[in-house]
Each structure stands twice: as C-alpha cells, then as structure tokens.
Amino acid sequence: MSAHAAPGSASPNTARRGWGLAGICVGFALVILDANVLNVAVPTLRAQLGASTSELLWVVDAYTLAFAALLLSTGVLGDRWGARRGFQAGLVVFTIASIGCGFAPDIGWLIAARVGQGVGAALLAPTSLALIHSFYPDTRARVRALGMWAAISGVAFAAGPVVGGGLVQTIGWRSIFLVNIPFGILALLLVSVYRRPVSGRRVALDPLGQALAVLALTTITAGLIEAGRIGWGAAPVLAAFGAGVVFAGLFLLWERGRPKPLIPRAVLTSPPLRSGLLAGAAFNFSMYGSLFVYTLALQGDRGYGPLLTGLAFLPLTLMHAPVATWIAGPWTANRGGWRPLFVGQLCTMVGCVGFVIAGALPYPVLALALLVFGVGSGLITTSMTALVLSSAPDGSVGISSGLLNASRQLGGVLGIAALGSLTANDLPGNIPVAEMVATLVIVISAAVTARSVFS
C-alpha cells in the first residue's frame, strides 16, 4: 500500500491497474461485438447499398477472415513489440477501420474497411491476454482479472444482435461502426494509465507461411461464397477451391521444413488439443452460419424489423452466460473438460435439428431450438478452452490459445460462407439443407470427442 493511502483503501498502483484492466476489457469487447453485431443489418445493407447476397457474405466474412488468418502471426508480432504496443496498435487500426466502415460510400469500400477491422482485431485479441498476465503477476489476482475479461466478452457476445438491431432501427446501420470510435479511444486511454513495463522480445516471423495461410483461407472462402451466385460446378468456383487446396498444401510443405513453424508440431500431435480445436471450429461454423441464415429469414420472410430480429435471438444469448458460469465452470473444474464438451455438443446438435424444421413453423419452435443451442454454447466455450489450455505442451499456452481463437474464427468464416451460399437462391426452401450441413459438422466433432469420453 502507498504510504499516503488511507487504511483499507486501494493503492494508486492497484487503482491504475484496475483502469488498465477496464481498458483491456472494453477493447476486447469491441472485437467480440463486431463479430456478430452486423448480421441484423444485412437486409438494410442490401436495400441501401444495392448489395448482392455474395457481397453481403463478404461484408460479414471479411472481418472474421482477416481476424482468423492473421491470428497465426499477430501473437508473434505482439511478442516482438511488447503486449502494450501490440494492443494499442490493434485498437488504433480497429478504430480507424471502423471510421472507414461508418463512412463507406459503397459496398466495396465497406468490405475493404471490414478487412482493416479484422487486422486490428487480430492484433488486439492475443495481446489482451498477454497484458493481463503482465499486469497481474499474482496468480489469484490474475484469475479474477481473467474472470472479469471472460464475463465482459460474454456480455458483448450476447448483446451483439440486440445492440445491432437497436442501432440499425433507430439511428441507421452506419452507427454500428461509428459507436466504436469513442469506446476505442476510451480503451486506448485506460490502457495507458497503468504504466507497468511490458517489453518485447526477439522472435522469428514467418511472412511466407502467413501469406500462404491467408491465400488458402481466402480462396476457399471465395469459392464457397461465389458458389451460391454462379453454381457449385462453375469454373471460377472450382478454380478457387483448387487454388485453396494448392495453397494449403504449399503451406504444409513450407511449415514442415521450418525449425520453428507457425503451428508447433507438439500442439498438433496432442489429441485433446486437436479435439478442442475441432470443437471450436465446428461450433462457430454452426452458430455463425445459422445466425446469418435466420437473420435473413426473420427480416425477409417474416417481416421482422432489425430490433425485433435481435430480440428473437435472446433465448440463445441469455442462456450462454449463466450456463458457462454456474454449470460449465464448476463441472469442468471438478471433472475435466471432456464430458461437459460432449454434452454441449449434443445440445448444439439438438438445436441444429430444431433449426432444420423451424424455418416454416411459428417462432416458438425457433426459440426452443435457440434455447437448447444456448445451453450447448455455454458448455462448449468453457470446456473446450479449459481442455486446450490444460493440454498445451510446455511453453505453448499462448500459441494454443491463439490457435483456438483462429480455429473458431475460421469455423465462423466457413459457416457463414457455406450456409449463406446454400440459401442464396432460395432462402426459405433451402434452410433445411443448410441446417442439415451445420448439424453434420457438429456430429463429426462430437464423434471425435466421444472417442475420448468413452475410451
């Protein structure tokens, strides 16, 4: 305690550290919010900017694609610059790109600015955890700080559709991005309050490996998106898929020969890690893709406004936080992550089956499916994170955490692209087909988990 602090009061350093943590949480909440806040604005963008379905898919996916692909390297950049500089750089890029989104004159400009947001998010996300680690060297204090960080990010996730719907309906779609500006500046100032040194260190970069990863993900996503517009057998679509396979193969060959690859071999050879990464990708595939499809269906076929659409998803979002906190947390702590992960996958599977039939039925059927899916969401997110981090090889916790985030974002990219493409030409008629694909992805992931649960 400071010599001048009153008994029982917080020391100046403790207060500054609290403000710094608040800045970290605000910045990361913006990143999480922008991953799902835009879905409810998609029909408005179509009407006001004259965007096609494939262009709308790019608007949503450009952010998540840049976020997912660059997470492989931005953690390394944060190590080189120092966590504070990396976090601040990410906030600046994200905020400037949000200005570009808010004032975008056309759909092409908006897509490019969304890529900029994804670059900022990829810098900010891994360095937020590194900053908390540095700010709180005491283990107990760090756990409390991480709990606050996780809780606020959960609230941001849950609030996304409602906040987005309210802003679109009352102020307009541009406000979704412009509201990031004051909060981005606030987070930047708060993180600067606590001046604990966070120095960088010399670590190797892999620009060619990162470029090949970006090209592989971008070409595969392009093929999925354009398939809905010109057909799955069209030459450009097949060429995009072929290029994606080639770039992915080149990435694997290049990484195999490097002494320090982007993805350490010890991480990929760990069964719990592989299961956790697959679970994250499958979960986000089904959730992001289903939310995109049903956002269009609710506003298009049922005539819901943006705010009512956001409120329609509340059964999912309201279940996530209490299940994750009161059920998944204690269960995982006492029994490990495998069983809650498997039960969560079963719940999301049942939810996806509900999504298959809900498109043509009254809203309560969709609400029930969202409720069950939300239970699975709370169980999966907590247990897979614990499973990945507890199984990470020595010295690979940060890399394993980054890979989990990357796999989840990649799953979201592919889910939006695939399910959006499948419903592009006949939204109400093809919802069952799209949701059966989402269900199949969850089934495959659950089958992998079951091998460890029942072995």
Contact 273, 388 (CB under 8 A): yes
Nearest Cα to 288, choosing from 60, 53, 30? 60
For position 147, what pLDDT does the model report?
Answer: 65
Q: Is residue 1 in a domain?
A: no
Q: Do 166 and 244 belong to one domain?
A: no
Alpha-carbon distances, residue 22 vs 16, 129, 204, 325, 344 (angstroms): 10, 13, 31, 20, 31
Contact 11, 5 (CB under 8 A): yes
Contact 282, 229 (CB under 8 A): no
Task: List CB contacts of 126: < 8 A, sequence separation 6 or more.
Answer: 71, 74, 75, 78, 86, 398, 401, 402, 405
For position 79, what pLDDT does the model report?
Answer: 60
Q: Do 248 and 334 belong to one domain?
A: no
Q: Is residue 3 in a domain?
A: no
Amino acid at 319: M
Q: Is residue 139 in a domain?
A: yes
Tokens encoding 255: 């990484």
Q: Looking at residue 127, which CATH number applies to its domain? A: 1.20.1250.20
Q: How many domains does the chain have?
A: 3
Burial tier of 347 (Cβ tally within 10 Å: 0-12, 13-18, 19+):
buried
CA dihedral in degrees (383, 384, 389, 393; nearest 10)? 130
Q: Do 246 and 341 belong to one domain?
A: no
Q: Do 353 and 254 belong to one domain?
A: no
In 10 A of CB 361, how many CB atoms?
Answer: 11
Q: Is residue 5 in a domain?
A: no
Q: Is residue 99 in a domain?
A: yes
Contact 427, 296 (CB under 8 A): yes
Q: Is residue 2 in a domain?
A: no
For Cα atoms 307, 94, 386, give the angle at the middle one, nearest 5 degrees.
Answer: 80
Q: Do 186 and 288 belong to one domain?
A: no
CA dihedral in degrees (306, 311, 312, 318; nearest 10)? 150
Q: Do 162 and 250 belong to one domain?
A: no
Contact 72, 212 (CB under 8 A): no
Amino acid at 262: L
Q: How far apart are CA 446 and CA 380, in angstroms?
A: 11
Domain that holds residue 241: 207-261
Amino acid at 114: R
Q: Is residue 436 in a domain?
A: yes
Q: Do 146 and 178 belong to one domain?
A: yes
Q: How far apart are CA 23 and CA 26, in angstroms?
A: 5
Tokens encoding 89: 């750089």
Q: How far apart are CA 10 and CA 377, in angstroms?
A: 37
Q: Do 122 and 188 belong to one domain?
A: yes
Alpha-carbon distances, residue 111 vs 164, 216, 272 (angstroms): 18, 19, 36
For position 283, what pLDDT does the model report?
Answer: 92
Q: Is residue 446 in a domain?
A: yes
For position 327, what pLDDT does the model report?
Answer: 86
Tokens encoding 325: 């906190």
Give the domain-ending residue among 154, 172, 195: 195
As averages over each run of 10 residues, the pLDDT of the chain (455 residues) reads 44 73 88 83 86 84 85 67 80 95 92 94 80 73 70 73 87 92 92 64 70 88 83 89 93 82 72 86 92 87 86 86 81 84 95 92 93 91 78 65 79 87 79 94 94 77
For position 3, what pLDDT does the model report?
Answer: 42
Q: Do 247 and 307 belong to one domain?
A: no
For position 228, what pLDDT does the model report?
Answer: 76
Amino acid at 164: G
Give the domain-ending residue among 166, 195, 224: 195
Q: Do 31 and 140 belong to one domain?
A: yes
Q: Do 171 and 316 belong to one domain?
A: no
SS3 state at 290: helix
Give the domain-ending residue among 195, 215, 248: 195
First vs last C-alpha separation in the chain: 53
Q: Do 25 and 132 belong to one domain?
A: yes
